[in-house]
Structure 1
Amino acid sequence: MKHCVAVSMRLLISILICLAAIVYHQRLNILPYLSSKNIITTTTSTPQATTNTTMPAAQSTFKGLPVIPPNDPSLTATTTTPRAIRKVFEAIDQAEGAGARVRRSVGTRELKNFTPFLMLDHFTIAPGAGFPDHPHRGQETITYLLSGAVDHEDFAGNAGTIYAGDLQFMTAGRGIVHAEMPAQNPDGSANIGMQLWVDLPAHLKDCEPRYRDLRGSEIPVANSPDKKVNVKVISGRAYGVDSLQELAYTPVWLLDVTVQPGGTFDAPLPHKWNAFIYTLSGSIVLAGPQSSKTIPQYHNAVLEQSGDSIVASVPASAEKESRFILVAGMPLDQPIVQYGPFVQTSTEGIYKAMADYQGYANGFERAENWESEIGKTMVH
């Protein structure tokens, strides 16, 4: 009897090993198909990405990398050279989520995985639309609301509402499930804002998730000497005014700039950081080291890494002011492998993220039987 049991156990183990081998083989075979269909996207390097300085290990107490790089040669230079324009393209309107519309500029064929940036959406969420319960792993999201109000709720117990001028910083880390749903505005108008996805350094992708609101009243404001330029210094520096610190792990500058006719925005950018601007309204003239270019509304202008500053003006003959978002970030010297809301540095990491999410493990334990209150109805 014992012999029969032993034989049966060996047979069972052999079968399990064979099944595991088959599954692993199928995973290897399906990867090229997923990549070819852009279901899983892989970027081994990004043009002009630079190697980071040594970064501190993840800590239980939140501490991001310096958003104002110390001793940065571009920030301390007495004379600066404007950055040249690499490319300019329009952000095309498209459907996203449950009934929402977005103008996506980063995360498209025009500009994919522009380290550390993964995606930039200029979104419009009408009543009855939204982004119900969904997961993230391995990145940070920054949501900036331009009009209306949006509710947030996640399985870590964070919940709140941001209004026009407010921001939400969320670090997904090892895993989070949340919902983002629009408020029902009294006049029935849509909720409009920007959402930026930022990659996390490889050694911080397993950090604990984190969430915080940044109220518009907390954001310092800077002005040019002639008062024709107004800057909301969300993250970074402008005209000698520094933002709040410790907003996110990955250092990112985010400036909301309004330029009156006849005004010129002139500001240094951190050395070799990747940067771009997105025009919200009106048009601006970007000055390069050799030529200038007009950037119309809803266009993304990607800047070269060489150079020290950005110079953007609005002609005195313009009929109205122009507004744009300036975004800059420290490049991460690491591969980017992305499957929807999961961002890792290897395909194995993506497979693990999907398995963990489906199995409620390794960061997704709290997702089991969890359902947000705000996601239960598309209008509230």
Structure 2
Amino acid sequence: MSEADHSKRMSKTEISSVLREPRLVVKKFQSIAQREGVGAVVRRSIGRFELRHFDPFLLLDEFSVTAPGGVPDHPHRGFETVTYMLQGAMTHEDFAGHKGTIRTGDLQWMTAGRGIVHSEMPASQGTQKGLQLWINLSSKHKMVEPRYQELLSKDLAEVAKDGINVRIIAGEALGTKSAIYTRTPTMFLDFTLKPGAHLQQPIPSLWNSFIYVLEGEGVFSKPESSPTKAHYILLLGSGDGVEAWNQSSKLLRFILVGAEPIGEPVVQYGPFVMNTQEEIDQAIDDYEHCINGFENAKH
């Protein structure tokens, strides 16, 4: 056996041994467009009647908005929002004076904590597109002070190998880690696979995880599975990772998201997510009276 053949054989052995128990797809459905805010359209997958919550995930929207539409002032308490721009730009502004614009490929990771009132509005001509993910916070973190992490596209970790390109928003892939800090341990990976590419991505065995397809069509979990097209979400079962194949002639792009479940009761009233109804009632009262974290709401 030549050195080149030996190298190829070793490479295949190493790849095949990465995952001992690949995760299977246990649920799959298409996100359906609906109106949200003022003139915004979202394709909601997590947070609709088929899937109210997926611990610790509360909502996943693929949004599309054109000026003068947007999402005017609204409050949050008890969780984090992750906004990842796919096209265009959105400007965020809150009641504490924080303001910023994220553009194509940029990321904002906001910890609402005890209270934020903010707006999210288009910042350029044409249609702005992106993803927004809501991640729950444990009871011990729900009332922390608000915090922002914003990364420009050029500062996100990105790796390309064997026909696979991955932007590492949170967590680790292909030996590279993100700089984002997550209170709830989380991975958020943006994969693009060239035709013929095959991916094996480890996922901590106790985490919940899902895939959301953005472009093209892919085969997940087993090579004989039916292809999945854009705007579909796939919930993954137990195991130590996931496999994906691009068996088409076009690029495949999807996000892989996973996180450690919190395992606490979830009581949600619109933009407030707490553990009990009493805490929800308190959040509403705090917001209406501009107290306990909402002092600046009066302005």
Note the 1:1-380 alignment, pairs <5 A: 79-185=19-125, 189-224=126-161, 226=162, 228-246=163-181, 248-288=182-222, 292-304=225-237, 306-315=238-247, 318-368=248-298, 370=299
- Residues 287 and 293 of structure 1 are in contact (CA less than 8 Å); yes or no, is this contact kept in structure 2? no
1:200-229 deviation per Cα after TM superposition (whole angstroms, max 9, x unaligned): 0101111001122111111111223x2x11
3-state SS, counterpart of residue 124 of structure 2: coil
Which residue of 2 is the match for residue 40 of structure 1?
none
Residues 239 and 145 of structure 1, relative CA distance in 2, 3 Å threshold: same
SS of the counterpart of 2:140?
Answer: helix
Name the amino acid aligned to 1:269: I
Whether the 8 Å contact between 1:235 and 1:253 is mirrored in structure 2 is yes
Aligned mates of 2:201, 2:44 — CA distance in 1: 26
Give the whole-Å Cα distance in 1 for the aligned partners of 2:187 and 2:254.
13
Paired AA for residue 264 in structure 2: Q
Q: Which amino acid is the alignment partner of residue 116 of structure 1? A: P
- Give 1:87 shift: 0.7
Per-residue deviation, 1:367: 0.8
Q: Tell me the TM-score normalized by structure 1.
A: 0.73
Is the alpha carbon distance of 1:239 and 1:101 closer, same or farther for their aligned partners in structure 2, counting shifts above 3 Å?
A: same
Structure 1 vs Structure 2: percent identity of aligned residues? 47
| 8 Å contact kept, 1:119–1:196 | yes
Q: In structure 2, how many angstroms separate the alpha carbons of the residues matched to 1:215 and 1:124?
A: 20
Structure 1: where are the runs of 5+ without partners?
Answer: 1-76, 371-380
Q: Relative to 1, partners in 2 of residues 1:293 and 1:272: Cα closer, same or farther, differing over 3 Å?
A: farther
Decide whether aligned partners of structure 1 residues 303 and 200 sit closer, same or farther in structure 2, where only a CA change above 3 A counts.
same
Task: Write the distance in 2 (CA, Å) between the matches of 1:78 and 1:168.
Answer: 32
Q: Quick one: distance in 1 between partners of 2:180 and 2:189?
A: 14
Distance in 1 (CA, whole Å) between partners of 2:132 and 2:23 is: 25
Higher relative contact order (CA 8 A, sep 6+): 1
TM-score relative to the length of structure 2: 0.92
Shift of 1:250: 1.5
Q: Deviations over 1:110-149 (max 9, x none)?
A: 2121010000000001121101111000010000000101
How many equivalent residue pairs?
A: 283
Larger Rg: 1
Cα distance in 1 for residues equivalent to 2:109 and 2:205: 24
Q: Secondary structure at the match of 1:202?
A: coil
Deviation larger for 260-269 or 211-220? 211-220
Distance of 2:122 and 2:184 partners within structure 1:
27
Residues 78/295 of structure 1: CA separation in 2 closer, same or farther (3 Å cut) = closer
The letter for the 2-side match of 1:286 is F
Root mean square deviation, CA, Å: 1.3
Inter-partner Cα distance in structure 2 for 1:183 and 1:196:
20
What is the letter of the counterpart of residue 343 of structure 1? V
Structure 2 counterpart of 1:55: none
Q: Could you say what secondary structure the match of 2:261 adopts?
A: coil
- Could you tell me which amino acid in structure 1 is paired with residue 160 of structure 2? N
Aligned partners of 1:117 and 1:364: how far apart in 2?
24
